[in-house]
Amino acid sequence: MAKKPVVMGTLAEVLPETPRVSTFVVRLPEEAEFSFVSGQFAMLSLPDFLNDKGRPVRRAYSIASSPHDLARKTLSFTITRKGEGGLFSNRIHEARAGDPVSVEGPYGSSFVLDPQDPRPHLFIAAGSGIAPLRSMIRTLLSKEAPPPIELLYGFRGEEDFIYAQELTGYEKSVPNFSLKTAHSRPSSHWTGLSGRVPELLPRLYPSYKGQVVYMCGHPEMVTQTVEWLGTAGFPEEAVRKEQW
Ligand SMILES: Cc1cc2nc3c(=O)[nH]c(=O)nc-3n(C[C@H](O)[C@H](O)[C@H](O)COP(=O)(O)OP(=O)(O)OC[C@H]3O[C@@H](n4cnc5c(N)ncnc54)[C@H](O)[C@@H]3O)c2cc1C
């Protein structure tokens, strides 16, 4: 991929989402020219975090904010701390407000929102795969007449619900927004959907109803979801996917 411009930003805020996930809000300099489409990602690095060749360690992260948030000169990234072995994701969780963060991008041309598509939008996410979908949902909700939006979001249990307040807020206040959350390791008092996302699809989406689908999650979830949607008659053109 051709190298894109690099902007040196500053970490403005770290917002804890779950015990292992935080959202990092990066403020760009006033003069920076950065634009992107929901669904794209950027390469992040920390100038003082170098690999054994003396170059900054870089990793790809989906932009979790919407292009409208750029009016405040900010970009958000929602990052899971990988734990043992996870080089960059562990290091950025040690970063503090005021630390410099380098943002290179945006990258990605296949998994991008078409905000003019009038079809009902079905978003399917697992874990931190919600990040690019949150950007897309924010973009759609900033329109005067957003299309109907349904989000099926799978995560382990209650404490792993990223953007819980924001998404349940949409569910309550946006007329055409429907949220289905599914717990893969439900506690004994959870009464909602239980199981991994692909296991739930035959019951929830037995046939194609004219939606456009955007999904993001780990490769196994994405492969199995694409497989089911094909079986259910969703046309390939209507199914967009990102995985990591
Ligand atoms: C387009 C794109 C968008 C992405 N968006 C996001 C996002 O929004 N949020 C997000 O959290 N992630 C996202 N990712 C993933 C991200 O780029 C990183 O891959 C992730 O954060 C792990 O990086 P790391 O440096 O912490 O782990 P790495 O050091 O690269 O290690 C990767 C994995 O290998 C394991 N590992 C490393 N060394 C060993 C070893 N010696 N033995 C066994 N296992 C080992 C680690 O535990 C880890 O799970 C995205 C990836 C892509 C390609």
Task: For 98-130, give the DSSP string.
Answer: T-EEEEEEEE-SSS---TT--S-EEEEEEGGGH
Give the tokens for residue 50: 């170098």
Mean pLDDT, the chain, whole residue set: 97
Residue 134 backbone dihedrals phi, psi, to 5 degrees: -65, -40
Q: Atom 33, ligand 1: which residue's CA is nearest? A: 86
Shortest-distance Cα residue to atom 9 of ligand 1: 79
The residue whose CB lies within 8 Å of the most ligand 1 atoms, and thus the one to mutate among 26, 50, 61, 222, is 61
Is residue 241 in contact with ligand 1, taking CB distance under 6 Å?
no
Peptide bond preceding 106 in cis form (omega within 30 of 0): yes
Q: Which protein residue has the closest C-alpha to ligand 1 atom 21?
A: 89
Nearest CA to ligand 1 atom 43: 85
The pLDDT-based confidence of 85 (bands split at 50, 70, 90) is: confident
- Sorting pLDDT into bands at 50, 70 and 90, what band is 147? very high
Q: How far is the CA of 129 from the centre of ligand 1 (A)?
A: 13
> Does any ligand 1 atom lie closer than 6 A to the CB of residue 50?
no
Average pLDDT over every residue of 192-214: 98
> Atom 17 in ligand 1: which residue has the minimum CA distance?
60
CA 16 to ligand 1 center in whole angstroms: 19
215-229 residue pLDDT tens: 999 999 999 999 999
Q: Which of ligand 1's atoms lies nearest the C-alpha of 88? A: 25
State in Å: Cα 79 to ligand 1 middle: 10
Determine which residue's CA is closest to atom 32 belonging to ligand 1: 86
| Local confidence band at 97 (pLDDT 50, 70, 90 cut-offs) | very high
Contact 241, 215 (CB under 8 A): yes
Cα–Cα distance, 185 to 156 (Å, whole number)? 5
Nearest-CA neighbor of 201 among 183, 228, 180, 181?
228
The pLDDT assigned to 169 comes to 98
CA gap 108, 232 in Å, rounded: 28
Q: What is the DSSP string of 130-182?
A: HHHHHHHHHHHHTSSSPPPEEEEEEESSGGG-TTHHHHHHHHHH-TTEEEEEE
CA pair distance 202, 213, nearest whole angstrom? 15
Dist. CA 86 → ligand 1 center (Å): 6
Whole-angstrom distance, CA of residue 107 vs CA of residue 4 = 8
Which of helix, strand or coil describes residue 62? strand
Ligand 1 lined by 89 (C-beta under 6 Å): yes
Q: Among candidates 22, 40, 158, 151, which has minimal Cα distance to 89?
A: 22
All structural domains of the chain? 6-107 (2.40.30.10), 121-243 (3.40.50.80)
Distance, in Å, from the CA atom of 67 to the CA atom of 74, rounded to the nearest integer, reads: 9
**202 backbone dihedrals φ, ψ, rounded to 5°:** -55, -35
